[in-house]
Amino acid sequence: MNEDFLIGTYTSKTSKGMYAVTLNHDQKKLENVRLVVASQKPAYLQQVNNRVYAVKQDGNLGGIASYQLSTDGVVSLIDQQLGAGAPPAYVGYDQTRQLVYSANYHKGTVTVFKLDQEGHLTKTDEVTHQGECGPKPEQDAPHAHYADLTPDKRLAVCDLGMDLVVIYDVSDEGKLTQASRYQAEAGFGPRHLVFHPNGQVAYVLGELSSKLEVLKYDERTGSFSHLQTIDTIPADWNAHNGAAAIHVSSDGRFVYSSNRGENTIAVFKVEDDLTLRHTQSITTAGDFPRDFELSQDEAFLVASNQNSDNLTLYSRDATTGQLTLLQQDVACPEPVCVKQWVK
């Protein structure tokens, strides 16, 4: 059995755009890293129904683009929406309302686009975060870093600069109305979040604090309350670290996060009360693991090391959640995002 992954990259060194890699399940190895579409800085992407929605830069312009994927591996541009300034950090997808969301770290904005049947994008709304920011140097301004759906189809936004998670109600026309605000501890730096499959708890990753917050979610009010804070790195770690990506297994038993600095994947067991217990940290055999992704059967995990230009493959034990390093030094230029390529 073979399975493909799409790799979003930075294009500041040798990368030419969006790449793909094949996971050979039988041989337990990654192979055939190849360029699938030339593009400037497709640093984050979402792939749904043979389309890709990705970050895009064109000189001094930044925004998002939609692409069509064919089964033979050809990727073609459908549309792009670019504006002056830096491109977003995240792209989210709303299948029910046919909307695409972007979070722009540099501008502190959350933007909504409506999709037509051909995949063309029309801007419907944009909010700009304003207000008091956190105490760390990186928190010089609002920095929206994540914008994607809650299980009940609201929009959750992580603002790293403001130590804030904002929940928005979303209309069918793509208009945002603020429903709630959760204030994390000072200097936490919310980057990404994932929901437990039961929809009752979210796991929020703090880039600047290298911590995870476990939050109970109230669907009635669209609001969070705090349950737990847990470190993603050892207590005696004193070098730089930035927590990056977070995922939860489909059975809801394990949470995984990446550490850029310690250069590890941290594994957490989900307890009966949905809080977390750290059970493993394993090297990514590379530098600056910005993202990772589980295979479709969740028997493997693929990690991307941005600074060392390599991918790393692990096997995963479904019973214990533990990872075992299988392959390292798989050359791929500036990999920063890993997504299943579902065909």
Phi, psi of 215 (to 5 degrees): -120, 135
Question: Average pLDDT for residues 129-140, to the nearest whole number?
Answer: 98
Distances 311 to 22, 224, 292, 328 between C-alpha atoms, Å: 11, 35, 9, 6
Q: Which residues contact 23 (CB under 8 A, 6 or more apart)?
A: 2, 3, 4, 5, 29, 30, 295, 300, 302, 313
Do the beta carbons of residue 234 and residue 228 sit within 8 Å? no
* pLDDT value at 73 more than 90: no
- Rounded to an integer, the average pLDDT of 16-44 is 97
Among positive and negative, which fits the CA dihedral 51, 258, 215, 275? positive
Is pLDDT at 74 greater than 90 in this prediction? Answer: no
Q: Copy the structure tokens of residue 108.
A: 């502190």
Q: How far apart are CA 234 and CA 182, in angstroms?
A: 26
pLDDT digits (tens, 9 = 90+) for 218-238: 999 999 999 999 999 999 999
SS3 state at 59: coil
Averaged pLDDT, 327-343: 96
Rounded to an integer, the average pLDDT of 186-205 is 98
pLDDT digits (tens, 9 = 90+) for 81-101: 999 999 999 999 999 999 999
Give, in order, the Cα–Cα distances in Å from 21 to each of 28, 30, 54, 296, 316: 13, 7, 17, 14, 19
pTM higher than the cut 0.95: yes
Which residues does residue 302 pair with via DSSP β-bridges, in sequence order?
A: 293, 313
Q: Supply the pLDDT for residue 72.
A: 77
Percent of the chain surpassing pLDDT 90: 97
267 and 282 Cβ atoms separated by less than 8 Å: yes
Give residue 86's pLDDT. Answer: 97
Question: Predicted confidence band at 71 (pLDDT cuts at 50, 70, 90)?
Answer: confident
Residue 70: band (very low, low, confident or very high) from pLDDT cuts 50, 70, 90: confident
Inform me whether the pLDDT recorded for 318 exceeds 80.
yes
Mean pLDDT computed over every residue of the chain = 97
pLDDT tens-digit map of 260-270: 999 999 999 99
Mean pLDDT of 70-90: 92
Domains annotated for the chain, with CATH where assigned, are 48-72+85-230 (2.130.10.10), 232-343 (2.130.10.10)
